[in-house]
Amino acid sequence: MSRIGKRPVELPKGVTATLSGQTIEVKGPKGSRSFTATDDVTLSVDEGAVSVKPRGLSKRARQQWGMSRTQVANLVAGVTTGFKKEMEITGVGYRAAVQGKVLKLSLGYSHDVDFAIPEDVTITTPKPTEIIVEGIDQQVVGQVAANIREWRKPEPYKGKGIKYKDEFIFRKEGKKK
């Protein structure tokens, strides 16, 4: 039995959920998102909570039960508080700046990298060495952060590159004489 799937997802004040077939749409102060569940689970909205139940006892139904409940919880979290990824840039001369709908990155290449900011994501740079990616869709926020990090991953000798704020870079010792 799914420990995650058993618990209903509470809807905070100001958040509404509408169900049409297997699709649930959640509207909140930051916007609206929707999720279509598979036929292996049953979604129901009652008294300020969304509950997910499996249809049958097959392995797939039990897998989809917990996953669907987590997806609905992420919808609610996205439209209320949103999701955020914080990144740090380490390296001499490495910096970032937002200019309109473009994130300009100076990462030691012979040219600046221009990263186009997607529509449903906001990117801010409080300092030249910090990047904050925010949005209501957890998957999109994580993918945009990964795409930015891909331009210069942190290397293990000096730690230069773009890393997540909570990431630990395992450092290596250099050559010895």
In angstroms, rounded to a whole number, what is the distance separating the alpha carbons of residues 124 and 122? Answer: 7
- 22's enclosing H/E stretch is none
- Separation CA 109–CA 159 (nearest Å): 17
In the predicted model, residues of the chain with pLDDT beneath 50 are: none
pLDDT value at residue 80: 93
3-80 is a CATH 3.90.930.12 domain: yes
pTM of the predicted structure, to 2 decimals: 0.87
- Looking at residue 1, its pLDDT comes to 65
What's the confidence (pLDDT) of residue 164? 95
Where does CATH 3.90.930.12 sit in the chain? 3-80, 83-164
Superfamily of domain covering 83-164: Ribosomal protein L6 (3.90.930.12)
User: What local confidence, expressed as pLDDT, does residue 106 receive?
Assistant: 94
Cβ within 8 Å of residue 138, ≥6 positions away? 74, 77, 78, 83
